[in-house]
Structures are given as structure tokens and as C-alpha cells.
Amino acid sequence: MNQNWVIGIILVLVLLGGGYVFLNMDAAPVGPQATTTPTTTDGTQNPEPTPASSAGKPLVVTDTTVSPTNSTAVVTGKVTPNGAPTSYWYEYGQSATLGSKTATQAIGSGYTAIAAPGYITGLAKNSTFYFRLSAQNAYGTVTGGTYSFSTNNNPASQGTAPAVSTNAATAVTRTTATLNARVTPRSSQTTYWFEYGDSTDFGSVSSFQSAGSGNTSLAVSAAISGLNPQTKYYFRVNAQNQYGTTNGATQNFTTPGPAFSAVPVVTAQVAAPVGTTTATLRGTVNPSGSQTTYWFEYSTDSLLGSILLKTTTHRSAGAAQGTVSVQSDVVSLQSGTAYYFRVVAQNAGGTVRSGNQTFTTK
């Protein structure tokens, strides 16, 4: 065959193939779409991810530090309640099978790791004992590691868990409150904290504070924020020293409303009286049921731009649902000059400005 014919046939085939590829570049893939989960290297399917629960079993850590005497031992650990009301106790005995346990103590329902001291009594001196920390909530029971200690000839330490009382909350606003209580350390270094939440399960924890180691009743408090308006909250104080944890009685308070703040409504009115260098600016403010602050902005600039803008003192318009009249006196004005002003009001719902009014000094 002629060499030119061969070359011609090859060119035709290349062109036809390229055209087919070009025409099918954007075509959808043929065949069914994948609907199964990816498989692992051993051929099994990965399960669909499960959303994490907001609460679960407590987390427990038994500390190895122990303070033994001839008949007692102070043991420690940490418990994270993990979002549900949780109690803890210590199991102990002269073998790894344990067999005895301390009294159960409530430690709350937050997500913070909390110290969990225990005071074991009635032990034989110069003997080896095993112990571990356990905790339980509605999601299950968890035990920490098992460790051992030996009693000695030292006399037993004397002490008791702190005494507490939960008092009424004060300074309650739509989103904040101050929680109050009294704590008696009973001569042992004591830490206190508050639990609070919108149910008796609490869920939130204040910061941990020292109440010292005295033997007198101390007034303690904690300021909390981030609350929801028009909501009932429950709280209690907790205090602990090396001899145990004490829970105060549960108290409650309700944050004021409204649940959702509306912005205030404002109107600028005619200024009166107007003098040579003074004027009384007037307007109305409807706080829309939320604590509201108002002030006036004024300027010789009709646009009330920021460069020449002046403001009066910020004052309270209250928290009523109705319209209230407001006013402010301004001084040191230029005589024979046109001024422009407006009312500004601000509450939790936002900041609003009225339309402009004008007056001319004499």
C-alpha cells in the first residue's frame, strides 16, 4: 500500500477518536450511584457516625495519694459528672476484692472534673488496704483504678466535712445573678462552688473558690452570667474538705422578661425653650419592656455627621411598655445658629435613632 494512504488512514482514525472523546467529556457517568458506606481494609462497612450524646457516664480517676493513720485514711480522686446528677463513693478492703464502701456523696451534674475526697475509718493499724473510687449517674456506674496503702501507728486525724447553707440569689437581671451562701470550713482547708441550671439537675458550675480553714460561718457568693430571660433557675452551694463533700439545699430564682427584647421606639419633638446659647431638647421613648438608656445627639451639621456631633448625658428611660417623655438641656451653643438633633435609645434589643428635628438659637 502507498505510504501516503497509510498516513491518511491513521489521521482519520485519530480525528474520529478525538471527536468521540470531545463529545462525551461532560456526559454523566454510566451505571448506578454509590449508596453504601465506604468499606474498611478488611471488607466490612464503616458504620454511619452517631451523634454524641449531651450527657453520659461519669469519668473517674482514683488518685494514688493517701494520708493514712493507725485507723483512718484520707483518699482522693476526681469525678466528671458528664451532664447528669452523679454520686461517688470509695470501695476498700484488705484484698483486691475490696468488700466495704464509704457513704455515697452527691457531686453534681456538670462537665467539670471535681475533686472527690473520701474519709475511710475503722481500719486496723499496720495493715495493707486496697481502695478505688466509683461514681454513678443515670447512664451507668464507673470505677477508677485500684491502689493500696498501709496504716501505721499515727493517731487518727479528727475532722468533719464542712457545713453549708444556700441563701437567696440577689442582683437578678435578665441574664445575670449573684448566688449566695454560707460555708463553715470546720477547721480544715475547704473549697466551695455553686451548681445552677434551669432544672434541679443543674448542669452548670461556678468557679471553685477557697473558704479557708477556719471554724466560723462565712458569707460566700458567685456572680453568674449568660442566663436566659424569663426563666426559672435552680442552684445550690457545695463545699468540701478532706473529710468529704457537703451539698446545700436547692434554692431558685426567676430572671425577669421579656423573653425576647424588642428595640425601643423613639421620636424627636420640638425643642423648647430655646435661648441665645441654650436649648431644651425633647422627645419620647418607648422602652418596649426592657431596661433602656437614652441620649440626644446634636450638631450644626444637618446630616449629624460624626465630626461635629455632640451628645448629651446618657440617662435611663426605665423598662416600661408605654411611651415616656424625655428631655435634656444643652448649653454653650452659638447664637443665631441652626442646630439639628435626634433622640437615641438603647436596650438589649438594639439601638435606634429618631428622625431629625431642628431649632435656631436667638
pLDDT digits (tens, 9 = 90+) for 197-232: 999 988 888 989 999 999 999 999 999 999 998 899
Q: Grid coordinates 484484698 are at which residue?
A: 95
Phi, psi of 55 (to 5 degrees): -145, 160
pLDDT of the residue at 86: 95
Q: How confident is the model at residue 186 (pLDDT cuts 50, 70, 90)?
A: very high
Q: How confident is the model at residue 4 (pLDDT cuts 50, 70, 90)?
A: low
**238 in the same domain as 276:** no
Q: How confident is the model at residue 319 (pLDDT cuts 50, 70, 90)?
A: confident
**293 in the same domain as 237:** no
Give the C-alpha separation, 299 to 333, whole Å.
10
- For range 127-132, the mean pLDDT: 97
Phi, psi of 60 (to 5 degrees): -130, 135
Average pLDDT value for the chain: 86
C-alpha dihedral (296, 302, 305, 308), degrees to nearest 10: -80
Give the C-alpha separation, 57 to 134, whole Å.
11
- Of 20-29, 204-213, 322-331, least confident by mean pLDDT is 20-29
**269 in the same domain as 353:** yes
Give the C-alpha separation, 23 to 343, whole Å.
68
- For range 136-143, the mean pLDDT: 96
pLDDT of the residue at 76: 93
**pLDDT above 80 (res 2):** no
- Of 19-33, 74-88, 125-139, 327-341, least confident by mean pLDDT is 19-33
**238 in the same domain as 172:** yes
**pLDDT above 80 (res 20):** no
What's the pTM value of the predicted model, to 2 decimals? 0.60
Give the C-alpha separation, 253 to 194, whole Å.
14
* Nearest alpha-carbon partner for 102 in 82, 63, 132: 132
- Of 36-50, 102-116, 119-133, 345-359, least confident by mean pLDDT is 36-50
**More confidently predicted of 257 and 150:** 150
**pLDDT above 90 (res 35):** no
Supply 86's cell numbers.
452523679
**pLDDT above 70 (res 154):** yes
Percent share of the chain, pLDDT over 90: 73
pLDDT of the residue at 7: 47
Q: Long-range contacts: 302-305, Cβ < 8 Å, 24+?
A: 302/338, 302/340, 302/356, 302/358, 304/340, 304/341, 304/342, 304/356
* Nearest alpha-carbon partner for 263 in 282, 296, 285: 285
- For range 135-157, the mean pLDDT: 95
In the three-class reduction of DSSP (H, G, I as helix; E, B as strand; rest coil), residue 3 is classed as: helix
Determine the Cα angle at 270 with ends 358 and 326, to 5°: 115
pLDDT of the residue at 5: 52
Give the C-alpha separation, 179 to 157, whole Å.
33
Instruction: Give 245-263 pLDDT, tens digit per residue.
Output: 999 999 999 998 777 778 9
What is the total count of domains within the chain?
3
CB 319 within 8 A of CB 290: yes
CB 163 within 8 A of CB 183: yes
Give the C-alpha separation, 155 to 72, whole Å.
9
Supply 288's cell numbers.
418596649
pLDDT of the residue at 8: 52
Which of 150, 179, 204 is at the close of a domain? Answer: 150
pLDDT of the residue at 289: 83
Give the C-alpha separation, 123 to 151, whole Å.
8
Domain presence at residue 107: yes
- Count other C-beta atoms under 10 Å from residue 343's C-beta: 29
Q: How many helices (H) and strands (E) does the chain have?
A: 1, 28
**pLDDT above 90 (res 323):** yes
**356 in the same domain as 270:** yes
**pLDDT above 70 (res 23):** no
pLDDT of the residue at 44: 30
**132 in the same domain as 204:** no
pLDDT of the residue at 257: 77
pLDDT of the residue at 333: 97
Domain presence at residue 197: yes
Region label for 336, one of left (φ > 0), alpha (ψ between -120 and 50) or beta (otherwise): left
Domain presence at residue 53: no
Domain presence at residue 38: no
Domain presence at residue 108: yes
**Single-letter code of the amino acid located at 300:** T
**168 in the same domain as 145:** no
* Structural domain range at position 198: 163-254
The residues, ordered by sequence, that sit 6+ positions from 43 with a Cβ below 8 Å of its Cβ are: none
**pLDDT above 90 (res 26):** no
**243 in the same domain as 298:** no
**272 in the same domain as 191:** no
**332 in the same domain as 270:** yes
CB 62 within 8 A of CB 132: yes
CATH number at residue 174: 2.60.40.10
- For range 15-43, the mean pLDDT: 35
Give the C-alpha separation, 57 to 139, whole Å.
5
**216 in the same domain as 288:** no
**175 in the same domain as 134:** no
Phi, psi of 93 (to 5 degrees): 175, 175
**pLDDT above 80 (res 40):** no
Rg (C-alpha) for the chain, rounded Å, is 37
Instruction: Give 259-279 pLDDT, tens digit per residue.
Output: 777 899 999 999 999 999 999
